[in-house]
Structure 1
Amino acid sequence: MGDTGAADVARESLFSAELAAAVAGARRRAVRDGDRQVDTAHLLHTLMESDPEVSRAVDGGSAGQGSAGQSVRLLGYLVQRTIGYGLRWSGTVEDSGSLPVLLACRAPGWSPAAAAAMEGAFARARARGAARAEGTDLLAVLALDHRCRAAEVMRRAGVDTEVLAARLDAS
């Protein structure tokens, strides 16, 4: 997984507290799973566990809207991924094609798709005038990258990633 370098520390100062917790959890999850890199499914799993706004967004927004069971179903799929569902991914590098693989060299310990998702979350935060990226920024980017592992898991859990991304963009 590699050491956290100065670039990682500088990037982490741009995270909300919830996103920082999710990134730290994703790193721990990748190590525990024996994966060489943090991938988008690791990020999604820890986002769902550590950021209540992300769970609310998956469920359709504020309390009383949408399908309250989608976040629970999604967490179930993510747990299955850690106990075997993701074995076909074991030992492979996640590259959704959303950026050149060279970015992975600038973000050691991260799959190219996860590195691109983090960059996308920063860009989304800047576009809305925020100083820090939030978990919902990362969730929106993950939902839009149809070829990443996180989006695949969301779709398998019945989450309409197009609707989710549009809802997050509207908020």
Structure 2
Amino acid sequence: MQSPTPRLPQQAAVTRPDIDARLTVELASVVAGARRRALRDGDRQIDTAHLLHSLIETDPEVRDALGTGPEVARVLGYLVQRSIGYGLRWQGSVEDSGTVPVVRDPEAETSGWSPSAAAAMEGALERAELRGDARAGGIDLLACLAADAECRAVEVLRRAGVDAAQLSGRITAV
């Protein structure tokens, strides 16, 4: 009998062992949580909203960056609604904010990551490297998510009343 839970391919570019070694333990936990959430939601790929949800659940620095309790509660409320309501329109579609060219290659589309999520993860690694850190953390990923005005994570932030551009600026300035 076939499992009703879809399986995400494990060979995603952003989960190669050399990249895994460049993530903090906390960020590796965020990625694992986002993968579980995508599977549970029936999505083919981890997208930026999965990453945002897992970041907020896992990383206190990310919650602090988002602001006081009401902002975090509203964002989490929208993320929960995603799996039971408005997010259903995203199911079965590939998230592409246009920040990177989408390659219509069957292997690329089954990598397990949306193009926007993969770009955000790569950006987090680059951000840490520029800072001189060997490992990327959750705040690096949040900065990259907030900087992509067209990604699903920013749509969630916007709906919750969080100014993503201002958030990105605050994080980048630190």
Q: Deviations over 1:118-137 (max 9, x none)?
A: 01111111111111011010
- Judge which range, 7-16 or 136-145, deviates more: 7-16
- 1:106 to 1:88, Cα distance in 2 relative to 1, 3 A: closer
Q: Give the superposition deviation at 1:107.
A: 7.8
Normalised by the length of structure 1, the TM-score is 0.90
Tell me, yes or no, if structure 1 residue 120 matches structure 2 residue 123: yes
- How many residues align? The count is 164
Cα RMSD after superposing both structures: 1.8
Q: Distance in 2 between matches of 1:11 and 1:123?
A: 11
Is the CA contact 1:58–1:71 (under 8 Å) kept in the aligned structure 2? yes
1:163 paired residue number: 166
Tell me, yes or no, if structure 1 residue 2 matches structure 2 residue 38: no
Normalised by the length of structure 2, the TM-score is 0.88
Is the CA contact 1:107–1:115 (under 8 Å) kept in the aligned structure 2? no
Q: Distance in 2 between matches of 1:49 and 1:107?
A: 26
Tell me, yes or no, if structure 1 residue 51 matches structure 2 residue 54: no
Equivalent residue runs for 1:16-165 within 5 Å: 16-59=24-67, 67-102=68-103, 105=108, 108-165=111-168
Gaps of 5+ in 1: 60-66
Residue 126 of structure 2 aligns with an amino acid whose one-letter code is A
- 1:42 to 1:5, Cα distance in 2 relative to 1, 3 A: closer
Gaps of 5+ in 2: 1-7
Q: Give the superposition deviation at 1:17.
A: 1.4
Q: Give the superposition deviation at 1:56.
A: 0.5
Q: Distance in 2 between matches of 1:73 and 1:86?
A: 15
SS in 1 for 2:143: helix
Is the CA contact 2:75–2:156 (under 8 Å) kept in the aligned structure 1? yes
Q: Distance in 2 between matches of 1:29 and 1:5?
A: 16
Q: Deviations over 1:53-109 (max 9, x none)?
A: 1000001xxxxxxx4311111111111111112011111000110112239829810
Q: Deviations over 1:107-162 (max 9, x none)?
A: 81000110001011111111111110110101011101000000000010011111
Is the CA contact 2:12–2:113 (under 8 Å) kept in the aligned structure 1? no
Q: Distance in 2 between matches of 1:85 and 1:158?
A: 17
Question: What's the % identity of the aligned pairs?
Answer: 59
Q: Distance in 1 between matches of 2:48 and 2:12?
A: 20
